[in-house]
Amino acid sequence: MNQIKITVDSPADIPENLAKELDIKIIPLYVNTNNGSFKDMINITPNDIFNQYETTKVLPKTSACTIEDYINAFKNIIDNGDKVIHFNIGSKFSSCYQNALIASKEFPEGDVYVVDSQNLSSGMALCVLTASELIKNGETISNIANKISNDIVPNIETSFIIETLTYLHAGGRCSSVAKFGANLLKIKPCIDLENGEMNSGKKYRGPFSKCVDEYISDRLSNRNDINKDVIFITHSPCEKEIIDQIKAKLKKQYNFKKVIEAQTSCTISSHCGPNTIGVIFMRNKMDK
Protein backbone atom coordinates (compact mmCIF):
# COMPACT_ATOMS: atom_id res chain seq x y z
CA MET A 1 0.00 0.00 0.00
CA ASN A 2 1.30 3.45 -0.92
CA GLN A 3 2.28 5.67 1.97
CA ILE A 4 2.27 9.46 1.91
CA LYS A 5 5.59 11.08 2.74
CA ILE A 6 6.02 14.75 3.63
CA THR A 7 8.84 16.90 2.33
CA VAL A 8 9.40 20.58 3.11
CA ASP A 9 11.82 23.43 2.38
CA SER A 10 14.37 24.18 5.10
CA PRO A 11 12.91 27.61 6.03
CA ALA A 12 10.11 25.70 7.77
CA ASP A 13 12.44 25.73 10.80
CA ILE A 14 11.20 22.34 12.01
CA PRO A 15 13.19 21.14 15.05
CA GLU A 16 15.40 18.17 14.21
CA ASN A 17 13.77 15.89 16.77
CA LEU A 18 10.29 16.68 15.45
CA ALA A 19 11.32 16.09 11.83
CA LYS A 20 12.74 12.73 12.84
CA GLU A 21 9.65 11.79 14.86
CA LEU A 22 7.29 12.60 11.97
CA ASP A 23 9.63 11.24 9.26
CA ILE A 24 9.84 14.59 7.47
CA LYS A 25 12.35 15.06 4.66
CA ILE A 26 13.80 18.58 4.75
CA ILE A 27 15.16 19.96 1.48
CA PRO A 28 17.77 22.67 2.11
CA LEU A 29 17.96 26.01 0.34
CA TYR A 30 21.38 27.45 -0.44
CA VAL A 31 23.38 30.07 1.45
CA ASN A 32 25.95 31.74 -0.78
CA THR A 33 28.94 33.42 0.84
CA ASN A 34 32.34 34.68 -0.25
CA ASN A 35 33.66 31.27 0.77
CA GLY A 36 31.29 29.28 -1.42
CA SER A 37 27.77 27.90 -1.55
CA PHE A 38 26.42 25.95 1.43
CA LYS A 39 23.28 23.97 2.21
CA ASP A 40 21.04 25.56 4.82
CA MET A 41 21.59 23.95 8.24
CA ILE A 42 23.64 21.13 6.67
CA ASN A 43 27.08 22.69 6.50
CA ILE A 44 26.34 26.24 7.68
CA THR A 45 24.57 27.61 10.76
CA PRO A 46 23.08 30.99 11.71
CA ASN A 47 26.03 31.70 14.00
CA ASP A 48 28.37 31.15 11.05
CA ILE A 49 26.44 33.83 9.17
CA PHE A 50 26.46 36.28 12.08
CA ASN A 51 30.18 35.78 12.68
CA GLN A 52 30.93 36.32 9.01
CA TYR A 53 28.84 39.48 8.87
CA GLU A 54 30.52 40.93 11.95
CA THR A 55 33.90 40.31 10.30
CA THR A 56 33.19 41.29 6.70
CA LYS A 57 29.98 43.39 6.88
CA VAL A 58 28.84 41.34 3.89
CA LEU A 59 25.56 39.48 4.20
CA PRO A 60 25.27 36.09 2.47
CA LYS A 61 22.70 35.61 -0.27
CA THR A 62 20.18 32.80 -0.18
CA SER A 63 18.94 30.93 -3.23
CA ALA A 64 16.18 28.46 -3.98
CA CYS A 65 16.35 24.70 -4.22
CA THR A 66 16.89 23.72 -7.83
CA ILE A 67 14.53 21.67 -9.96
CA GLU A 68 17.11 18.89 -9.83
CA ASP A 69 17.15 19.02 -6.01
CA TYR A 70 13.41 18.45 -5.95
CA ILE A 71 13.48 15.72 -8.60
CA ASN A 72 16.11 13.81 -6.64
CA ALA A 73 14.25 14.17 -3.33
CA PHE A 74 10.90 13.14 -4.82
CA LYS A 75 12.42 10.26 -6.81
CA ASN A 76 13.92 8.64 -3.72
CA ILE A 77 10.45 8.46 -2.19
CA ILE A 78 8.48 7.48 -5.30
CA ASP A 79 10.97 4.74 -6.21
CA ASN A 80 10.08 3.23 -2.84
CA GLY A 81 6.44 3.04 -3.87
CA ASP A 82 5.22 6.04 -1.88
CA LYS A 83 3.64 9.40 -2.74
CA VAL A 84 4.91 12.88 -1.86
CA ILE A 85 3.22 15.97 -0.50
CA HIS A 86 5.67 18.86 -0.49
CA PHE A 87 5.34 22.18 1.33
CA ASN A 88 7.17 25.19 -0.07
CA ILE A 89 8.20 28.49 1.39
CA GLY A 90 5.67 31.08 0.18
CA SER A 91 5.80 31.65 -3.57
CA LYS A 92 6.16 35.43 -3.07
CA PHE A 93 9.43 34.89 -1.20
CA SER A 94 11.23 32.43 -3.44
CA SER A 95 11.17 30.49 -6.71
CA CYS A 96 11.14 27.24 -4.73
CA TYR A 97 7.43 26.72 -5.37
CA GLN A 98 7.76 27.08 -9.13
CA ASN A 99 10.81 24.80 -9.16
CA ALA A 100 9.00 22.15 -7.14
CA LEU A 101 5.98 22.33 -9.46
CA ILE A 102 8.21 21.81 -12.49
CA ALA A 103 9.91 18.88 -10.76
CA SER A 104 6.56 17.29 -9.89
CA LYS A 105 5.71 17.05 -13.62
CA GLU A 106 8.52 14.52 -14.02
CA PHE A 107 6.43 11.94 -12.18
CA PRO A 108 3.09 10.24 -12.87
CA GLU A 109 0.07 12.42 -12.13
CA GLY A 110 -0.98 12.15 -8.49
CA ASP A 111 2.38 10.95 -7.18
CA VAL A 112 3.58 14.42 -6.10
CA TYR A 113 1.45 17.22 -4.67
CA VAL A 114 3.10 20.61 -4.18
CA VAL A 115 1.54 23.07 -1.73
CA ASP A 116 2.34 26.78 -1.55
CA SER A 117 2.38 27.50 2.19
CA GLN A 118 2.21 31.27 1.50
CA ASN A 119 4.30 31.38 4.64
CA LEU A 120 7.74 30.95 6.09
CA SER A 121 9.35 29.55 9.21
CA SER A 122 6.98 27.84 11.66
CA GLY A 123 3.97 28.86 9.61
CA MET A 124 5.17 26.18 7.22
CA ALA A 125 5.74 23.83 10.13
CA LEU A 126 2.09 24.17 11.14
CA CYS A 127 1.12 22.99 7.66
CA VAL A 128 3.40 20.00 8.10
CA LEU A 129 2.01 19.11 11.54
CA THR A 130 -1.55 19.25 10.23
CA ALA A 131 -0.68 17.14 7.19
CA SER A 132 0.97 14.55 9.43
CA GLU A 133 -2.22 14.24 11.50
CA LEU A 134 -4.37 13.94 8.38
CA ILE A 135 -2.13 11.18 7.06
CA LYS A 136 -2.54 9.28 10.34
CA ASN A 137 -6.30 9.70 10.00
CA GLY A 138 -6.24 8.04 6.59
CA GLU A 139 -7.01 11.08 4.41
CA THR A 140 -6.13 10.87 0.72
CA ILE A 141 -3.24 12.95 -0.53
CA SER A 142 -5.51 15.14 -2.66
CA ASN A 143 -7.80 15.85 0.29
CA ILE A 144 -4.81 16.72 2.46
CA ALA A 145 -3.44 19.17 -0.11
CA ASN A 146 -6.84 20.82 -0.54
CA LYS A 147 -7.51 21.07 3.20
CA ILE A 148 -4.12 22.61 3.94
CA SER A 149 -4.45 25.13 1.11
CA ASN A 150 -8.04 26.12 1.83
CA ASP A 151 -8.51 25.71 5.59
CA ILE A 152 -5.08 25.90 7.23
CA VAL A 153 -2.95 28.35 5.23
CA PRO A 154 -5.45 31.26 5.52
CA ASN A 155 -5.65 30.80 9.29
CA ILE A 156 -1.96 30.76 10.20
CA GLU A 157 -0.74 33.85 12.04
CA THR A 158 2.96 34.54 11.69
CA SER A 159 4.85 37.50 13.13
CA PHE A 160 8.26 38.35 14.55
CA ILE A 161 9.73 41.09 16.69
CA ILE A 162 13.24 42.15 15.66
CA GLU A 163 15.80 43.70 17.96
CA THR A 164 17.89 45.35 15.25
CA LEU A 165 17.33 46.48 11.68
CA THR A 166 20.99 45.90 10.83
CA TYR A 167 20.39 42.72 8.86
CA LEU A 168 17.25 43.95 7.12
CA HIS A 169 19.22 47.02 6.08
CA ALA A 170 22.18 44.96 4.91
CA GLY A 171 19.81 42.88 2.81
CA GLY A 172 18.24 45.96 1.24
CA ARG A 173 14.92 45.60 3.08
CA CYS A 174 15.00 48.90 4.94
CA SER A 175 16.62 52.29 4.38
CA SER A 176 19.60 53.76 6.19
CA VAL A 177 17.29 56.44 7.61
CA ALA A 178 14.90 53.84 9.03
CA LYS A 179 17.80 51.90 10.54
CA PHE A 180 19.33 55.03 12.11
CA GLY A 181 16.00 56.19 13.53
CA ALA A 182 15.19 52.76 14.98
CA ASN A 183 18.58 52.50 16.65
CA LEU A 184 18.44 56.08 17.97
CA LEU A 185 14.95 55.67 19.45
CA LYS A 186 15.50 52.05 20.55
CA ILE A 187 12.63 50.89 18.36
CA LYS A 188 12.01 47.17 17.91
CA PRO A 189 9.77 46.62 14.86
CA CYS A 190 7.28 43.82 14.42
CA ILE A 191 7.03 42.08 11.06
CA ASP A 192 3.63 40.62 10.16
CA LEU A 193 3.04 38.08 7.44
CA GLU A 194 -0.20 38.75 5.59
CA ASN A 195 -1.41 37.29 2.29
CA GLY A 196 1.95 35.70 1.69
CA GLU A 197 3.92 38.93 2.15
CA MET A 198 5.90 40.54 4.95
CA ASN A 199 4.60 43.88 6.19
CA SER A 200 5.76 46.30 8.84
CA GLY A 201 3.61 46.07 11.97
CA LYS A 202 3.65 47.77 15.34
CA LYS A 203 6.87 49.38 16.51
CA TYR A 204 7.88 48.77 20.12
CA ARG A 205 10.22 50.98 22.09
CA GLY A 206 12.51 50.25 25.02
CA PRO A 207 14.60 47.32 26.27
CA PHE A 208 14.18 44.19 24.17
CA SER A 209 12.76 42.04 26.99
CA LYS A 210 10.06 44.66 27.69
CA CYS A 211 9.21 44.92 24.01
CA VAL A 212 8.91 41.15 23.74
CA ASP A 213 6.43 41.09 26.65
CA GLU A 214 4.31 43.76 24.96
CA TYR A 215 4.48 41.92 21.64
CA ILE A 216 3.29 38.64 23.22
CA SER A 217 0.43 40.43 24.96
CA ASP A 218 -0.63 42.21 21.77
CA ARG A 219 -0.64 38.94 19.86
CA LEU A 220 -2.48 36.75 22.34
CA SER A 221 -4.50 38.74 24.87
CA ASN A 222 -8.27 39.28 24.72
CA ARG A 223 -8.85 36.99 21.75
CA ASN A 224 -11.28 34.14 21.26
CA ASP A 225 -10.20 33.12 17.75
CA ILE A 226 -6.95 31.35 18.62
CA ASN A 227 -6.55 27.58 18.31
CA LYS A 228 -4.85 26.64 21.59
CA ASP A 229 -3.67 23.17 20.49
CA VAL A 230 -0.15 24.23 19.51
CA ILE A 231 2.01 27.33 19.27
CA PHE A 232 5.56 27.80 18.08
CA ILE A 233 8.01 30.14 19.72
CA THR A 234 10.55 30.54 16.96
CA HIS A 235 13.75 32.51 17.34
CA SER A 236 17.17 33.21 15.97
CA PRO A 237 20.00 32.89 18.53
CA CYS A 238 19.05 34.93 21.60
CA GLU A 239 19.09 34.80 25.40
CA LYS A 240 17.80 31.51 26.81
CA GLU A 241 16.23 33.32 29.76
CA ILE A 242 13.89 35.29 27.50
CA ILE A 243 12.81 32.16 25.62
CA ASP A 244 12.18 30.22 28.82
CA GLN A 245 10.04 33.04 30.20
CA ILE A 246 7.94 33.15 27.04
CA LYS A 247 7.47 29.37 27.03
CA ALA A 248 6.24 29.43 30.62
CA LYS A 249 3.87 32.31 29.88
CA LEU A 250 2.42 30.59 26.82
CA LYS A 251 1.56 27.54 28.90
CA LYS A 252 0.40 29.11 32.17
CA GLN A 253 -1.10 32.44 31.15
CA TYR A 254 -2.37 31.64 27.66
CA ASN A 255 -3.15 27.94 28.17
CA PHE A 256 -1.64 26.48 25.04
CA LYS A 257 -1.65 22.69 25.16
CA LYS A 258 1.64 22.33 23.31
CA VAL A 259 4.47 24.84 23.03
CA ILE A 260 7.20 24.02 20.51
CA GLU A 261 10.49 25.89 20.52
CA ALA A 262 12.16 26.21 17.13
CA GLN A 263 15.31 27.98 16.00
CA THR A 264 15.37 29.79 12.71
CA SER A 265 17.33 28.33 9.83
CA CYS A 266 20.07 30.19 8.00
CA THR A 267 17.57 31.28 5.36
CA ILE A 268 15.44 33.10 7.91
CA SER A 269 18.26 34.19 10.25
CA SER A 270 20.26 35.84 7.47
CA HIS A 271 17.41 38.27 6.86
CA CYS A 272 16.41 39.09 10.46
CA GLY A 273 19.64 38.74 12.45
CA PRO A 274 20.09 37.60 16.05
CA ASN A 275 17.53 38.31 18.78
CA THR A 276 14.47 37.86 16.61
CA ILE A 277 11.48 36.15 18.22
CA GLY A 278 8.09 35.12 16.88
CA VAL A 279 4.97 33.39 18.16
CA ILE A 280 3.27 31.46 15.37
CA PHE A 281 -0.09 29.75 15.71
CA MET A 282 -3.38 28.99 14.01
CA ARG A 283 -6.63 30.83 14.26
CA ASN A 284 -9.82 28.83 14.47
CA LYS A 285 -11.56 28.59 11.15
CA MET A 286 -14.44 31.04 11.16
CA ASP A 287 -17.76 30.24 9.51
CA LYS A 288 -18.49 32.45 6.53
Tens digits of residue pLDDT in 77-92: 999 999 999 999 999 9
C-beta of residue 117 within 8 angstroms of C-beta of residue 90: yes
pLDDT at 21 over 70: yes
Q: Report the distance separating Cα 103 and Cα 77, nearest Å.
A: 14
| Chain center to CA of 75 | 25
Closest to 59 (Cα-Cα) out of 41, 33, 39, 94:
33
Q: What is the pLDDT of residue 266?
A: 95
Element holding 55 (H helix, E strand): helix 46-56
pLDDT at 285 over 80: no
Tally the C-alpha atoms within 13 A of residue 31's C-alpha that lie toward its C-beta: 28
Question: Which domains does the chain show, CATH number per domain?
Answer: 4-153 (3.40.50.10170), 155-283 (3.30.1180.10)
Q: Which 3 state secondary structure label does DSSP give 111?
A: coil
Helix extents (H) in 118-239: 122-136, 141-147, 166-170, 176-185, 208-220
pLDDT level of residue 181 (50, 70, 90 thresholds): very low
pLDDT tens, position by position, 127-163: 999 999 999 999 999 999 999 999 999 999 999 999 9
